[in-house]
Amino acid sequence: LRATRCPTSFIGAEQKEEAKAERVSSDCLPPTFSVSEIKNKQRRHLILLLESHIFSVFVFQQKMQLKKKKKKEREALGDKAPPKEVPKTIENQRVYDETTVDPEDEEVAFDEGTDEFSAYFNGLTNPKVLITTSDRPRGTVRFCEQLATVIPNAHVYYRRGLALKRIIPQCVARNFTYLMVINEDRKVPNGMVLCHLPDGPTAHFKMSSVRLRKEMKRRGKDPTEHSPEVILNNFTTRLGHSIGRLLAALFPQDPQFVGRQVATFHNQRDFIFFRFHRYIFKNEKKVGIQELGPRFTLKLRSLQKGTFDSKFGEYEWVLKRHEMDACRRKFQL
Amino acid sequence: MFVISSLCFLQVIWDIIGNQQFCSFKVKTKSQSFCRNEYNLTGLCNRSSCPLANSQYATIREEKGQCFLYMKVIERAAFPSKMWEKVKLSKNYEKALEQIDENLIYWPRFIRHKCKQRFTKITQYLIRMRKLVLKRQRKLVPLSRKVEQREKRKEEKALIAAQLDNAIEKELLERLKQGTYGDIYNFPVHAFDKALEQQDEESESESEEEEEEEDEEEEEEDVGKREFVAEEEVEESDLSDFEDMNKLRTSSDEEEEDEEESSEEEEEEEEEMEVEMKASKSKGKSPANGSVVRKKRAYVEIEYEQETEPTSKSRTTS
C-alpha cells in the first residue's frame, strides 16, 4: 500500500507541493487515479488513514518550525521583543459580572454585617450540623458518616421518612445551626440541601463525583478531631460571596492549627470542589499536602431565602439553564 | 300458548358466552377466568356474577370519590339506555350500607352481600388515596442525558483548570507568610534569608579566613576556622525562645557557645573547638543535640586528636 495523492480538499497550495515532493519517491499509480476510486472499503480506509497521518505529521513539523523561528526572532530582538502573548483561557475571557464584589465595598460589608451569618462571624454561635439523607438511603450513609468526621460537631441521623418541615423546628429547638440533607439516586449521592437553621438561607446543590475515603489514592490516616482550617477560593460575585459564607459557617471559627487539617472549597467555573487535606510545612517555601477524607463537587442549583420550603419559598437565585448556560464565558459564582 | 320462560334466554346467553363461545369481556388465565365488564360485581367470570347473563343485577361503582349503586331489573331489559338505575350513596359508611339494604331489599342474598363487600373495599381504598396525598410525594425529575454529559465534561475541564493542589499549597504558604499561624512554625524569615546569604558567602570564599568578634575569649585562632558573625547576633537575640535551633545551628554557633561557657584553658578550648568544628563539619550534624541540620554545608575533612576531655556542653538555650 503506497500513499498516492493526498485528498486535495483541505490543504493549501504550497502544502500541496510539499506533499507532492514527499511522494515523488514512492511509485505512484497513474496520475489520474484518486483514492476515492478504490472500491474496497478497507483498503481505501487504510490509505486514507496513512495519508492523514502523513499530513498531520507534516502540519506538526510546520508548526515546530514556526515556533523555532519565532523564538529566534525573540532572542534576536532581546529586550525590545514584544511581550509574550498570554494564551486565552476561559478564566481570562470571562464576561465581567457586575455583581463582582470589591474588597472595599461598603454596602457589601454592611450587608454581611447584618445578614444571617453575622452571628456566626462575630463569634456568637458555634456551628452544630445535622446530616441526614433522603428516604431509605442505600449507599449514602457511609458518605454521611465520613462527612461527619470531616465537619466537627456534626451528627448523622437516620431519616425515617420524616418530613423536612417537621424536622426543622425540632432542630431549631435543639440548637442546631445547620441541616444538611444528602439526596441520593441509585446508591450514589447526587444532591445536597444545606439549610441554615434559625431561618437562614437554604441552598440546593447538585453533587457529583463523590469519592469516599477508601477510593482515594495515597491517602493519609483518618482525620482527627481537630477543627480544620477552611480555604475558600474564587468566590467573587455577590452570590458567590453569600455561598462562600454559607459554606464557611459550617466549620468552627477558630481552627486548631495543631491538627494541620484544611478543608478547601474551590470555585472554578461555577463548580465548587471540596477537598480535605492534611498539610505539613517542609520549609518556608514548600508545603506538602496529603489528601484524607472524602471529596465531591457541588454545583449550585438554587438559593432560597428562608428555611426549606420548595413550594412557597422565596427564591433568591435559581439556575435557569437556558439563560445562564447559553454563554460559555459567563459564570454566576 | 307459547310461554318463553324469562330465564331461558339468560341461560342461553350464559351457555354461549360463559363456556362455549366467545365473550369479549372474558380474560382467561391458567387457573381462573376474570370478567372485565365494568358492571361486574366480583370481577370473576361466573354464572352468578355475569352482568350479561343475569337479568336482575346490582353493582357499586365509584366516580371521582363518590360511590353509586347501579341496579338492573328485568322490566327494563328492553330499554338499553335506561337499563341501569344509579343511586348515589351517602358519604357516611353506615348510612350507605343502610341505603344499599333498603334498595336491594328482597334481592338475592348473594348480590346484597357482594355489593356491601365491594362498597367496603372501595371506601377503604379511597381513604388510603386521601391519606397518601397528604404525605410527602416523591417527585421524579427527568434528567436529560445530553445535559448531564455536557455538565460532566465541563466539570472535568474545570477541575483541570483549577489546579487544586497548587492553589491549596499557595494559599497555605500565603497564610504562613502573613503569620496566621503565629509562632508554631519556626521559619523565621529574616534569619533564614541571612543564613542563606551567609552560606553563599561561605561557599564562595572557602579559602578566606573570617575573624570572630569575640576575640576576648580566645587568644589564638586557627586559620581554617570559620565563624559567621551575623548569625550569632541573630541567634542570640531573636531565636532564644525557639525550641529546635537545628535549622540555624551551625558548627560555628556551637563553638561559640561552648567557648563562652568554658572559661578554661584556651588550648583546650581550641582543641575542643577544633574537635567540634571538625566533627560537626565532617558529619554535617550537631552531635550534641542530635538533630538534623537541614542545609548541607561545605565541609573540610581535618584529622583531629582529642587530648583533653571535652567539657560538658550544656546549651544556653531554653
- C-alpha cell recorded at residue A71: 523564538
Mean pLDDT of chain B: 74
Does B158 contact chain A (CB < 8 Å)?
yes
Is residue A135 scored above 90 in pLDDT? no
Is residue B232 scored above 80 in pLDDT? no
Mean pLDDT of chain A: 85
Q: Which residues of B touch A278 (CB under 8 A)?
A: none
**B49-65 mean pLDDT:** 93
Q: Between these two residues, B229 and A93, which has the higher pLDDT value?
A: A93
Run of H or E including B146: helix B145-162
Chain-centroid distance of CA A217 in Å reads 19
Interface of B with A in 252-291 (CB under 8 A): none
Q: Does domain B1-134 have CATH number 3.30.390.110?
A: yes
Instruction: Answer yes or no: do A281 and B294 touch at CB < 8 A.
Output: no
Interface of A with B in 116-135 (CB under 8 A): 135
Q: Between these two residues, A213 and A26, which has the higher pLDDT value?
A: A213
- Contacts of B108-112 with CB under 8 Å at 24 or more apart are B108/B56, B110/B48, B111/B41, B111/B56, B111/B57, B111/B58, B112/B58
pLDDT band at B274 (very low <50, low <70, confident <90, very high): very low
Distance CA B278, CA B272 (A): 10
Instruction: Answer yes or no: do B168 and A271 touch at CB < 8 A.
Output: no
Is residue A64 scored above 90 in pLDDT? yes
pLDDT at B125: 95
A92, A165, A257, A265: best mutation site toward chain B, by most B Cβ within 10 Å? A257
Does B167 contact chain A (CB < 8 Å)?
yes
- Cα A243-A291-A192 angle, rounded to 5 deg: 35
Measure A169 CA to nearest chain B CA, in Å. Answer: 17
Is residue B292 scored above 50 in pLDDT? no
pLDDT band at A86 (very low <50, low <70, confident <90, very high): confident
Instruction: Answer yes or no: do B165 and A321 touch at CB < 8 A.
Output: no
Is residue B209 scored above 80 in pLDDT? no
- Residues B180-190: tens digit of each pLDDT: 887 777 766 65
Q: Between these two residues, A292 and B137, which has the higher pLDDT value?
A: A292
Crossing angle of helices B229-238 and B189-204, in 10° steps, is 160
Q: Where are the domains positioned within chain B?
A: 1-134
Run of H or E including B268: helix B266-283
Q: pTM score > 0.80 for this model?
A: no
Q: Which residues of A touch B172 (CB under 8 A)?
A: 231, 262, 279, 281, 287, 289
A159, A207, A229, A268: best mutation site toward chain B, by most B Cβ within 10 Å? A268
Which range is least confidently modeled, B132-136, B140-144, B230-234?
A: B230-234
Percent of chain B topping pLDDT 90: 42
Is residue B34 scored above 80 in pLDDT? yes
pLDDT at A54: 94
- Residues B244-260: tens digit of each pLDDT: 444 444 444 444 444 44
Is residue B38 scored above 50 in pLDDT? yes
Instruction: Answer yes or no: do A262 and B187 touch at CB < 8 A.
Output: no
